[in-house]
A and B are shown apart, each in its own frame.
Chain A
Amino acid sequence: SAVISQKPSRDICQRGTSLTIQCQVDSQVTMMFWYRQQPGQSLTLIATANQGSEATYESGFVIDKFPISRPNLTFSTLTVSNMSPEDSSIYLCSVRFGYEQYFGPGTRLTVT
């Protein structure tokens, strides 16, 4: 299993600004995943981050808007850039051990 922490747990930001979300895992993992969950909706994969290489983004998500860093095997950051109210969501990082996927507690972002 894995213990995943995220910072911040929540934030209220003004449109046009950027927020960086941190994800820390208590074990070394090859891949880390970033998801978005809009209010009352399901989870949507934003990107997959491997240590030492550029993240792979899903359709509809671009690096300029959601830059990701993966400096080592236990840590990753997701930045939400030039925010608009449509970016108001919960952002979750996730890791996989075997076939089980574990999620962090999420960062609840509100953009005003």
Chain B
Amino acid sequence: GQQVMQIPQYQHVQEGEDFTTYCNSSTTLSNIQWYKQRPGGHPVFLIQLVKSGEVKKQKRLTFQFGEAKKNSSLHITATQTTDVGTYFCAQGGKLIFGQGTELSVKP
């Protein structure tokens, strides 16, 4: 089945720095979703992207879907300690998850 590759696996940033995680697929995706999982918690839905080139913003979070619908990114501006967690992309009707990017923020 379709798989999405997510990088980086880990990212350590100083509070206030930006953060980006990327998802890439070898095939065209119908949509892509992003989830956040806090340490010890369960995944929480953030957003879904459907259209080619789509960009959506949620406060300091910016989500992009590539023109070819084969890649997506999540960018966090000026990270805060509350952003700590693992960010997953997921795609398809069966919701196949990427490997996740674990973000740690040093205050």
Q: Out of A42, A102, A104, name the residue touching B99 (CB < 8 Å).
A: A42
A104-B42 CB under 8 A given contacts A42-B88, A42-B100, A43-B88? yes
Does chain A have a CB within 8 A of B85?
A: no
A33 proximal to B (CB < 8 A): yes
Question: Closest residue of chain A to B86, judged by CB?
Answer: A42
A4 to B: closest C-beta gap in Å: 9
A103 & B43 in contact (Cβ 8 Å cutoff): yes
A48: interface (CB < 8 Å): yes
Do residues A45 and B96 form an inter-chain contact, with CB atoms below 8 A?
Answer: yes
Contact A45 B94, CB 8 Å, known A99-B31, A103-B42, A106-B42:
yes
Within 8 A of A (CB), among B1-48: 31, 33, 41-45, 48
A105 within 8 A of B: yes
A100 within 8 A of B: yes
Assembled-state Cα–Cα distance A42/B88 (Å): 8
Q: Is A109 an interface residue (CB 8 A)?
A: no
Interfacial chain A residues near B98, Cβ < 8 Å:
42
Indicate if the CB atoms of A99 and B88 lie closer than 8 Å.
Answer: no
Closest chain A CB from B13 CB (angstroms): 20
A101 on the interface (CB 8 Å rule)? yes
Chain A proximity of B54: nearest CB distance (Å): 14
- Give B contacts to A, CB under 8 Å: 31, 33, 41-45, 48, 88, 90, 94-100
- 4 new A-B contacts, CB < 8 A, other than A43-B88, A58-B94, A92-B42, are A41-B99, A44-B97, A100-B48, A103-B42
